[in-house]
Amino acid sequence: MVEEKKDLGLTAKKDGNFSEWYNQLVLKAGLADYSSVTGCMIIKPYGYAIWEKIQEYFNKELKKLKVQNAYFPMFIPENLFKKEAEHVEGFSPEVAWITEAGSEKLGERLAIRPTSETIMYDTFSKWIRSWRDLPLRINQWCNIVRWETKAVKLFIRSREFLWQEGHCVYATKEDADYEAKKMLDIYQRMVKELLAIPSIAGKKTELEKFKGALYTLTLETLMPDGKAVQLATSHNLGQNFARVFDIRFKDKNEQEQMPWQTSWGFSTRLIGAMTMIHSDDKGLVLPPKIAPIQIVIIPIVFEKTKAKVIKKANEIKESLEEFSVELDERDYTPGWKFNDWELKGVPIRIEIGPRDLEKKQVVLARRDGNAKKTVKISGLKKEIPKILDEIQKNIFVRAGRFLKEKTQFVDKWDSFERVLEEKNMIKAFCCGDSCELAVKEKTGATIRCIPFDDMKKGKCIYCGKTASELVYFSKSY
């Protein structure tokens, strides 16, 4: 038997040193690694397999909406980048510039995209001529570079990360409004159904919206350390970029019009959020629909019965071919394998040994609670789908309970900071920009969103004046 690694498990606790627990988890579970490039990370195959599951889900939704995938250059000429002054103000501290190639200095600096509005909308101005060209719906899967980050928090914060960014053009504001909200709804359904993450949908304040947008819609959720993560955003860009990049079309009456635009996106940050929310001190806890491996079969072998047990384990694997199944025949002890697969978050573990073989059964362990039960081999195909569905639902319910318990309504300023330091998200009334800024300056908390379903009057948490907006405050990454 090969020598077993001794440092497999996590040494930090989720309820203790959360940051160290998270870093160890991502590294030891094989999701990602640090890079020799300052501020950048490496996504390992196991982590990238999760990203592929997200891509697969979302690409199906794009096809339903007739959104087409495309790809635009990652280099943006400086003259294009400067066209939208408000846009540049929002991203200039984050931009990396290319000034020379080989031994030659470039005649014009090239920005490495912090987002793609400028390079895409310059092209849209050439593609769009008539109302017949609308709506134009484009999405791209790509990498993004925002240079101000130095200290990497794997998946949550790095100089380079992966995302999708959708960019659409419409004839009317009503169409843009409708689809900006529709994309947010799709995002919320995706994070619920696929990643089992509960979220709060709402609108960003003027101070927190995307630079250059008419308004920004967002999905927010809370991590166990009391910090919020923005899961996805959808922006109605109004006609701002159309005006700057001279995007025009002739309507049905041959009159020249300016179109309305939206953009929307999410990033590999979703993987980090999912990991933080669901996982425990043993390792990852992956929802079955996102897990690269849904079932692992571990044979309990002894020399005399090894061949029979391995044969039956292979038969079980073949019978479950509609799922993602791994048969672990490595030369390690069963206990070591159990710990290894718990660390990787595989939803179901099937154990089979010589006694199980005699009784024509297996032992089945669930990762969401490690509950074990015996199941007849003949009934596995029927039992497995039900259990996977139960696990998926259970993980979402558990996360939803946490979000509800850690969201507190506060109506007095003298208790605001205390509740915030207890790692809560706070619901409170706020009357406007000056009070929003004051709260941020004094506590570090920002308004994550103005929820869609809580429009009533109350007293501003900071100044005490009448406020019409109930908002969510939290610290964030």
CA-to-CA distance for 460 and 150, rounded, in angstroms? 37
Does the structure show a pLDDT above 90 at 435? yes
Does the structure show a pLDDT above 70 at 165? yes
Is 129 within 8 Å of 257 (Cβ atoms)? no
Find residue 426's DSSP bridge partners: 408, 473
Residue 344: the pLDDT is 98
CA-to-CA distance for 25 and 27, rounded, in angstroms? 5
Q: What is the pLDDT of residues 190-212, one digit of tens each?
A: 999 999 999 999 999 999 999 88
Residue 457: the pLDDT is 87
Tell me, what DSSP letter sits at residue 94?
G
Region at 94 (left for phi over 0; alpha for psi -120 to 50; beta for the rest): alpha
Q: What is the pLDDT of residues 335-383, one digit of tens each?
A: 999 999 999 999 999 999 999 999 999 999 999 986 899 999 999 999 9
Is 473 within 8 Å of 425 (Cβ atoms)? yes
Residue 150: the pLDDT is 79
Residue 371: the pLDDT is 81
Helix (H, G, I), strand (E, B) or coil at 194: coil
**Average of pLDDT values for 310-323?**
97
Q: What is the pLDDT of residues 31-57, one digit of tens each?
A: 999 999 999 999 999 999 999 999 999
> Which amino acid is residue 154, in one-letter code?
L
CB atoms within 10 A of CB 126: 10
pTM across the whole model: 0.95
DSSP letter string, 346-373: -SEEEEE-HHHHHHTEEEEEETTT--EE
Greatest alpha-carbon span in the chain:
85
H/E stretch holding 24 reads: helix 18-28
Residue 455 pLDDT grade (very low, low, confident, very high; cuts 50, 70, 90):
low
Does the structure show a pLDDT above 80 at 227? yes
CA-to-CA distance for 278 and 221, rounded, in angstroms? 13
Residue 6: the pLDDT is 63
**Average of pLDDT values for 287-303?**
97
Residue 151: the pLDDT is 83
Does the structure show a pLDDT above 60 at 1? no
Residue 5 pLDDT grade (very low, low, confident, very high; cuts 50, 70, 90):
low
Does the structure show a pLDDT above 70 at 64? yes
Unique residue bearing structure tokens 């988890």: 25
Average pLDDT, the chain: 95
Nearest residue to 93 via CA among 76, 75, 114? 114
Does the structure show a pLDDT above 60 at 24? yes
- CATH for 407-476 is 3.30.110.30
Instruction: Assess whether the region 45-278 and the region 407-476 belong to the same CATH fold.
Output: no
Give me the percent of the chain exceeding a pLDDT of 70: 96
**Average of pLDDT values for 176-189?**
98
Strands (E), 113-199: 136-145, 160-170
Topology annotation, domain 45-278? BirA Bifunctional Protein; domain 2 (3.30.930)
CA 200 remoteness from chain centre: 14
> Which amino acid is residue 374, in one-letter code?
T
Give me the percent of the chain exceeding a pLDDT of 90: 91
Does the structure show a pLDDT above 90 at 456? no
Q: Return all residues near 56 (Cβ < 8 A) that are at least 6 apart.
A: none
Does the structure show a pLDDT above 70 at 63? yes
- The residues spanned by each domain of the chain are 45-278, 295-387, 407-476
Does the structure show a pLDDT above 60 at 275? yes
Residue 3 pLDDT grade (very low, low, confident, very high; cuts 50, 70, 90):
low
CA-to-CA distance for 338 and 357, rounded, in angstroms? 19
Does the structure show a pLDDT above 60 at 226? yes
Residue 2: the pLDDT is 55
Topology annotation, domain 295-387? Rossmann fold (3.40.50)
